[in-house]
Amino acid sequence: MKISRRDFLNWAGAVGGSTAVYRAAMGMGLLPIAARAARPLLTASGKSKKVLILGAGISGLTSAYELSKHGYEVQVLEASFRAGGRNMTVRHGSRIDETGYPQVCNFDDDPDLYFNCGPARIPGHHVNLLGYCKELDVELEPFINDNRNAWVQDDAMFGGKPIRAREYLSDTRGFVAELMAKSINKDALTGPMTADDWDRLREYLRYFGELDPQFKYIGTSRSGLATHDYTAPEVLKAPLSPSELLKSKFMLIMSFGETDDQAAMMMEPVGGMDRVVAGFMRKVGHLVQLESQVQRIKVLPRGVEVTYRRDGEYVTTRADYVLNCIPMHLLAGIEHNFPAEYAAGFTAIPRGKLFKIGFQMKERFWEREGIYGGISWTLQDIQQIWYPAHGIHRKKGVVLGAYTFSPEAGEKFARLPPAERFKLAIAQGAKIHPDYASHVESGVSIAWHQMNHMLGCAAQWEEPLFKQWFKTLQSPAGSHYLIGDQVSYHPGWQEGAIASAHHAMADIDARERAGGTQVVHS
């Protein structure tokens, strides 16, 4: 089999999408390295120009911060009693404004006992968010995604008994490496693969799976030693049965912690993700008006008119520009005069239904199991249990007791009253930690598609929706711009929200430099 460079790129594409092709090509010297995304240089003065920002989520706050620095008159209208949007951290006394099931967080009053309901981690290449963290004095600390000591549990394998993540990952790799080393045939390799290449490939497989000199997998310290008695010789664990390991669909998520946005090193703000919101609010809080729910948006020949409700009264205001991060699925219910082809996009992108539970545990029992931070995975509804990497060795800690990705699992939890949600999550968590229930002191649950003023998690973009709608929704309708992670190729991430705000502001800046009347790419 002849393997050309083009073949390699095609495989990379099949596995990792076009991004992988691009990255691989960069590695092979085919493409120049793109410049890092920079904050737009706003050069036009915003003096005497008013910008109304709808929604005090991360994109709205970014816009308020940048535009007010450049002389624009800025007002932010936020429907909720709080700023931040899905950037939301709950701690002692926090109010959780869920439709039908309002809750109050009953955690102890302690700086380490908080729960990030929305975004919870930041990778090192989210340069814009990290830039704001630096500028706004938001202190960061490491966040752990990938912990080989954490558990993997699936009713489909080993009778539901949890195994350590390191066992699953190392034993499946050892098995695959042995199988491949034994089955690749030197004579079948032609073209650019030489006999030396074949030897090198076998060596690669040896180290990939940690095979013995005969290319047999007999176990590895990667899967953990049988004991850690350092006064006695090391004893390897016997490899787990490959046929049992392959029964689990865990293979679908086993590489989660290796992906572009999840691989080490990850970070989190000290004290909760909402420290980012607090940082912005220190700068622009005086421009943000809470509990002001938008009811009508009217695009004018020049500018935009917005009507909102506050204290039961309708208030109408006008601005030269509107930057709008109201979730599109809610915007669809607000009166407007947008072009039909623009507004049709609001209902075309499904809303996310992610769901989370946080439990205050009276003892950090996971640390007794050698787990410090990271994620245990299960194929049950709760899907994952996160252990805090902060507050290590303190008495109590807040674990994430459920974080569902599928709409079905999200709905299953969301339709239960909170106490029932906790019961279900505790029963499932007990398959990983048998004494789980005895440690739970209090809980919070976040059903994002039932959270007021959001009613959805990240917009569920995928092809062909991107192709059909993205450009339309990203372009302004007159002087009205949609922003938020919902209008980015990175939905569900604050970096996407910031990118959308930067994009819109760069467009406004271009219009202002051109005299303030020209409608750019619309």
Partner 1 sequence: MKRLLAPFAVLLLLAFLVSSARAGNDFDYCLLCHGSNANGNYGIRAPKLSGIEPWYLARQLENFAAGVRGAPADDAAGHEMAPVALRLKQQGSLDAAVKFIGSLDPGRPHATVQGDATTGKKLYAACAACHGARGEGNAALQSPALVARSDWYLVTQLTNYKTGLRGADERDTYGAQMRAIAATLVDDQAIANVVAYINTLQGLAPRN
Report the interface residues with partner 1, using CB under 8 A.
79, 81, 95-97, 99-104, 106, 291, 293, 295-296, 309-312, 328-335, 346-347, 351, 411, 414-415, 417-419, 422-423, 426, 437, 440-443, 450, 452-453, 455-456
CB nearer to partner 1: pick between 149 and 293: 293
The residue whose two tokens read 């999840």 is 262
CB nearer to partner 1: pick between 272 and 443: 443
Q: Residue 225, SS3?
A: strand
Q: Distance (Å, rounded) from C-alpha 341 to C-alpha 472? A: 8
| Angle, CA 138 vertex, CA 135 and CA 143 arms, to 5° | 125
CB nearer to partner 1: pick between 377 and 448: 448
Q: Least Å distance between CB 59 and partner 1?
A: 19
Q: Distance (Å, rounded) from C-alpha 106 to C-alpha 92? A: 6
CB nearer to partner 1: pick between 73 and 363: 363
Q: How far is CA 51 from the centre of its chain?
A: 29
Helix (H), strand (E), coil (C) string for 420-480: HHHHHHHHHHCCCCCCHHHHEEEEEEEEHHHECCCCCEEECCCCCHHHHHHHHHHCCECCE
Q: Least Å distance between CB 438 and partner 1?
A: 8
Q: How far is CA 240 from the centre of its chain?
A: 32
Q: Helix 58-69 and helix 275-284: axis angle, to 10°?
A: 30
Q: Least Å distance between CB 102 and partner 1?
A: 4
Instruction: State the Cα torsion 112-113-114-120 to the nearest 10°.
Output: 60
- Which structure tokens are listed for 121? 């981690």
| Angle, CA 394 vertex, CA 388 and CA 400 arms, to 5° | 25
Q: Distance (Å, rounded) from C-alpha 270 to C-alpha 312? A: 38
Q: Least Å distance between CB 453 and partner 1?
A: 6
CB nearer to partner 1: pick between 209 and 327: 327
Q: Least Å distance between CB 55 and partner 1?
A: 13
CB nearer to partner 1: pick between 149 and 460: 460
Q: Least Å distance between CB 105 and partner 1?
A: 8
Q: Least Å distance between CB 485 and partner 1?
A: 17
CB nearer to partner 1: pick between 236 and 440: 440
Q: Least Å distance between CB 304 and partner 1?
A: 16
How deeply is 42 buried, as exposed, middle or buried, from its count of CB atoms within 10 A (0-12, 13-18, 19+)? Answer: buried
Q: Residue 410, SS3?
A: helix
Residue of 384, 152, 341 lying closest to 245 (CA atoms): 152
CB nearer to partner 1: pick between 191 and 312: 312
Q: Least Å distance between CB 399 and partner 1?
A: 15
CB nearer to partner 1: pick between 204 and 314: 314
Q: Least Å distance between CB 274 and partner 1?
A: 19
CB nearer to partner 1: pick between 74 and 330: 330
Q: Distance (Å, rounded) from C-alpha 406 to C-alpha 414? A: 12
CA atoms within 13 A on the CB side of 392: 13
